[in-house]
Amino acid sequence: MASQQLEFTTCDVFTDIRFEGNPLAIVRLPPNIFLSQGQKQAIAKEFNLSETVFLRLGTGQNPDEWTIDIFITDAEIPFAGHPTIGSAWYAFAHLADQHVRRATLNTKAGPIPVTLDPDRRRISASIPHDVIVHKTAVERSQLLDLRPALREVGQAAIPNRAPVVSIVRGMTFALVELGSLDALRAVKPAGQLLRVSLDAADTDLLTKGFVGWYFYVRLAGMEDGTKRLCARMFDDPLEDPATGSAASALAVYRTLRDGEPGKVSRYAITQGVEMGRRSEIGVEVALDEERRIRDVVLSGWAVPVMEGKVWC
């Protein structure tokens, strides 16, 4: 069988500065090209980035409807934040008519409306959410067993319990609020994976798709009421420079705790500083009058880094 050549672009997401943010590989799939799951997985493994996206353009009556498949190096995942923002940025910049400002990204987690604000250099995505705050939390003793470096920062900076939250099924995070930036900087990769029970169906979190740790510190808010946080995400033993799904899970959790009915809570989350890849993630969470989640909007920008062709 003859080799196929597919165009690819890499970009850095949640930044407007090249070589910061979170790298993403975007592989374009023309209408007449279809790859197997095995081929997609092999390409994602070859790029060896946290995520690789396979982007198929809209055709016919739906030119502004695009489909993405999102792969980490060893599995396909239903949703992730920086592939959503990066893919939308690429599609608006390279594929859409210059006057198009709204489109839809179809993902395994559902359709995601995306918008472009070129003046503010912002892509916004109204992301799918099926939020679960699990009954089981990570206790302080378990946290310190897995993160012994935190023993050095003092008990006051470490929570008694850390909630476990899914933004969609299959994308779950332990949200660990620390008491200082020094404590955040002290976090090191764990020697073993986190295991807790979920509320739904099976008992082991590892059978439910991706799970990560999201450590964060709350900072003084902005004058317009936007809440500022610094964060780090670990998929042990690796650290991720920008994690839109984790930022969304955190913003939803904080809003369910502190938000006002019928209001929108805004968050500005800085991640990746300790890695030298500073990322700026925006999240807005709207509650209805019954304090249920009405909408979650993730926002950011991206810059191109490399382009070329991949043979498969």
Q: Which positions are catalytic?
A: 51
Give the contacts of 80 (CB within 8 A, at least 6 positions apart): 51, 70, 171, 243, 244, 245
* CA–CA distance, 17 with 71 (Å, rounded to integer): 24
Q: Which helix (H) or strand (E) holds 253?
A: helix 244-258
* CA–CA distance, 181 with 163 (Å, rounded to integer): 20
Angle subtended by helix axes 81-94 and 244-258, to nearest 10: 120
Give the residue carrying structure tokens 């080799």: 3
φ and ψ at residue 82, rounded to 5 degrees: -70, -30
Q: Please choose, from the candidates 131, 130, 99, the residue with its C-alpha nearest in 3D space to the C-alpha of residue 116.
A: 99
Give the residue carrying structure tokens 């920062």: 153
Q: Is-contact 298 81, C-beta < 8 A?
A: yes
What tokens were used for 130? 């099926």
User: How many residues does the structure list for the chain?
Assistant: 312
CA distances (Å), 252 to each of 94, 117, 129, 163, in order? Answer: 32, 24, 9, 12
Give the contacts of 119 (CB within 8 A, at least 6 positions apart): none
